[in-house]
Structure 1
Amino acid sequence: MTAPAEPQALLLKLLDPAIRANPYPVYREILDSGPMQMPESTLHVLSSFADCDEVLRHPDSCSDRLKSTVAQRAIAAGEQPRPFGTPGFLFLDPPDHTRLRRLVSKAFSPKVVKSLEPDITGLVDDLLDKVDETGEFDVIEGLAHPLPVAVICRLLGVPIDDEPQFSSASTLLAQGLDPFVTFSGETQGLEARMQAGLWLRGYLRELLERRRSQPADDLMSALISVEESGDQLTEEEIVATCNLLLIAGHETTVNLIANAILAMLRNREHWTALSADPSRASAIIEETLRYDPPVQLASRVAGADMEIGSIRVPKGDIMMVLLAAAHRDPAVADRPDEFDPTRSAIRHLAFGHGAHFCLGAPLARMEAAVALSAVTKRFPDARLADEPTYKPHVTLRGMARLDVAV
């Protein structure tokens, strides 16, 4: 293990658009360098599987950024720490996180997820029927994007006709998760993301008012009824929750489906195998989550002085966990840079761990399984028509276009 001369310079490589198609050599460089500590920035970057796993599981790891030293300094300087208002429960800690997650979890119960399977299958079949007519398609536009968007809109009660508007806002907000300020101090695109965030919350408030007078069989209506029954759920909490699920419910699943298709087309034997045997879908999905995860990094705040692996993290410091590096740690994965769904053990942190384990994991897995099984069966001879292009996102790294000939 070698210590980098300039940790920040190495981390800044992750922000370089030139590596978006393949950031993994940079992640490996960071992994080989070991934990990076930048006391002046109150930042600690962890990349090994063991360290990342420990951070996500640790009882003193917090998700509320207001507990960070950086946020407290900003508040003391008179800055507004939460310009959009109440955050989604993903960015809260108990007891608020526990209460909100419990209320929302009913919409993602095994029974509800299972009941969606026929509709998901029908949606996929309809999308692939359109592909049949052309002989070539962009996987993002033709399958990976419309499927999860339709599903999350149905769950929440968001009109699918409004999808182009909130999808555009969602793309901007997803880029807001990237560590520009943390790594470089830059605030590029901040104004556009502010406007997108404020617009989306305003849109959801208007929809909330319509649902009050015209309730439906959806999550937003269910949360309104909970609020009206006096379960301490505010309007801002409902808006924040729906905002979170709308973005998290489709950005990540788009990436999962597209990344799996790309990996299989570059490793043809797995495309052919899944085409013949849909039971292989689960292994394909788990290996994709390890090999090319939809969420590449996450962060936590130290709620107390902590020991993570070989380093000490003072209370209030930020811990950044590089999931994309951890998944290719040779300590937990043999031949880590190979896509191999047949490997004996597939370990990953793609859905997190502990209290913040992804609520939508079962739904994402089902959507991906239905989509991947259907597309490989329908088009056994599919091939890449061109190299993919990527969005600028670092955290929610994903493709902008993936052309496939069928």
Structure 2
Amino acid sequence: MTATGPDLQTADLLSPAAVADPYPLLAELREHDPVHWSERYRSWFVTRYADVDAALRDPRFSSDRIAPYRRARLDGPGADAGVRAAFGVLEDWMVFKDPPDHTRLRKLLSRAFTPRAVERMRVRVAEIADELLRDLGPHADLIGEYAYPLTSSVVAEMLGVPRADQALFKDWSDRITGLVFGGLGDPDRHADGAGGMAELTGYLDELVARGPDAESLVGALVRAREAGDALTHAEVVATGVLLLFAGHETTTNLIGNGLRALLRHPDQAPDAPGTVEELLRWDGPAKTIARLVAADVELGGRTLRRGDRVFLCASAANRDPAVFPDPDRLDVTRRPGRQLGFGIGLHYCLGAPLARLEAAIAIPAALDRFPDLRLAEEPPAWHPVLLSRGLVRLPVHT
């Protein structure tokens, strides 16, 4: 059924109310207009679990959305050269490619994220968490002082970035966020993100040039290029940028959102076998997943045309009552379901095992170290972007 009420006709996931709590609006869309055309964003928003799941498995919903945008908007005269260069880096990201390029890049990286390889990181993740928790004062920000430095340290060490340089990445990452995750309300997001991208790619260019640690991920990419695995220098650098950015951004948000959820629901066990999966479902870091329609397709009774942009709302699908009983209730003992917090199918998140490990260690560690931990009185501030859901700060009293 198509909604006709004014609330859904003007639905905006970037309104202040929806940024703070998107779930009421997503529930209205899911019930009344599950494949919703937004004039505001000139895009479709898909909210039912069955439709999101089907689209994520359907190759007609293409991940290759950066190259068409660059050709249409940035290749003509007068386009900003810095923004064009930033989108050139994004174009080489595995997550924005379809087969066969996606298959080639994923195969090169997959060895670093096998369960066995990730399990070897367990002790180091626990050590970093303990170091950071020891340094927290009576009033702390669990994003800036805990979740972010933990996740960024883990991925930087995997890539072979010297520890002394890791603090540089926070500013670059924050600036790139609007470029990648869809801060459509910010008119300066492209220029600011391009500046951050230029500084980060410049750093990685130098890291590759001076010879990274042979055991690091960047070292493995360089060896693959030198061995003739059809990996260009630009792809080595772009993949390093992707891993540094995506390797901590999603996990930082998972840990931050998860800690906030458990502090608001102290009856829920932080270390139950199903805790991380339920936190991913209930208020996970993936709000929507963007795709471009590669061929006309019918979905939910609507016709989506070739070239249309689609936002697959994983956060709405994860609270679909057709799949999850009593979906708005946080319940870490819930029978494991089919939450879509890491996607599904061809583009299932390569770093999911590492993200799960970090969250399973970091969240209980903070609550064990500070049994009286409580949220500060100030309201939470969320990043105003379409694709991800994450806190700017998480102020607490320890």
Pair in the same fold by TM > 0.5? yes
Query: Residues 144 and 66 of structure 1: is their aligned pair in 2 closer, same or farther, counting only changes over 3 Å?
Result: closer
Which of 113, 121, 125 is matched with 2:118 structurally?
113
Map 1:1-400 → 2, pairs under 5 A: 1=1, 3-4=3-4, 10-11=10-11, 13-34=12-33, 35-37=35-37, 43-65=43-65, 73-74=72-73, 83-84=85-86, 85=88, 86-131=91-136, 134-179=137-182, 187-211=187-211, 215-270=213-268, 273-274=269-270, 278=271, 280=272, 282-386=273-377, 387-400=379-392
Q: Aligned partner of 2:261: which letter?
A: A
Normalized per residue, the structure richer in helix is: 1
Q: Distance in 1 between matches of 2:192 and 2:388?
A: 18
Q: Distance in 2 between matches of 1:14 and 1:39?
A: 13
SS of 1:37's partner is: strand
TM-score, structure 2 length as denominator?
0.90
Q: Aligned partner of 2:202: which letter?
A: G
Q: Aligned partner of 2:345: which letter?
A: G
Greater CA deviation, 343-352 or 222-231? 343-352
Q: Distance in 1 between matches of 2:151 and 2:218?
A: 18
Question: Would you say the 8 A contact 1:145–1:254 is kept in 2?
Answer: yes
Q: Distance in 1 between matches of 2:178 and 2:315?
A: 17
1:346 is displaced (CA, Å) by 3.2
Question: Would you say the 8 A contact 2:151–2:247 is kept in 1?
Answer: yes
SS of 2:85's partner is: coil
Question: Would you say the 8 A contact 1:139–1:402 is kept in 2?
Answer: yes
Q: Distance in 2 between matches of 1:317 and 1:304?
A: 9
Deviations 1:139-173 (A, max 9, x none): 11232111111100011112232233222111121
Query: Residues 382 and 76 of structure 1: is their aligned pair in 2 closer, same or farther, counting only changes over 3 Å?
Result: closer
SS of 2:121's partner is: helix
Segments of 5+ residues of structure 1 without an aligned counterpart are: none
SS of 1:14's partner is: coil
Q: Distance in 1 between matches of 2:37 and 2:141?
A: 42
Aligned residues: 390
1:402 is displaced (CA, Å) by 1.6
Q: Aligned partner of 1:405: which letter?
A: H
% identical equivalent positions: 38
SS of 2:303's partner is: strand
1:330 is displaced (CA, Å) by 1.8
1:178 is displaced (CA, Å) by 4.0
Question: Would you say the 8 A contact 1:124–1:371 is kept in 2?
Answer: yes
1:73 is displaced (CA, Å) by 4.6
Q: Aligned partner of 2:357: which letter?
A: M
Q: Aligned partner of 2:253: which letter?
A: N
Q: Aligned partner of 2:295: which letter?
A: A
Query: Residues 230 and 178 of structure 1: is their aligned pair in 2 closer, same or farther, counting only changes over 3 Å?
Result: closer
Q: Distance in 2 between matches of 1:158 and 1:404?
A: 30
Question: Would you say the 8 A contact 1:43–1:319 is kept in 2?
Answer: yes
Q: Distance in 1 between matches of 2:261 and 2:41?
A: 37
SS of 1:177's partner is: helix
TM-score, structure 1 length as denominator?
0.88
SS of 1:122's partner is: helix
Greater CA deviation, 303-312 or 261-270? 303-312
1:180 is displaced (CA, Å) by 5.2
Question: Would you say the 8 A contact 1:67–1:316 is kept in 2?
Answer: no
SS of 1:371's partner is: helix
SS of 2:298's partner is: strand
Deviations 1:190-213 (A, max 9, x none): 2111211222212211111112xx
Q: Aligned partner of 2:131: which letter?
A: D
1:243 is displaced (CA, Å) by 0.7
Q: Distance in 1 between matches of 2:179 and 2:75?
A: 23
Query: Residues 380 and 331 of structure 1: is their aligned pair in 2 closer, same or farther, counting only changes over 3 Å?
Result: same
Q: Distance in 1 between matches of 2:71 and 2:385?
A: 27
1:124 is displaced (CA, Å) by 1.2
Deviations 1:72-117 (A, max 9, x none): 6547866689532242110011111100111011111222111111
Deviations 1:369-390 (A, max 9, x none): 0112222222333222324332
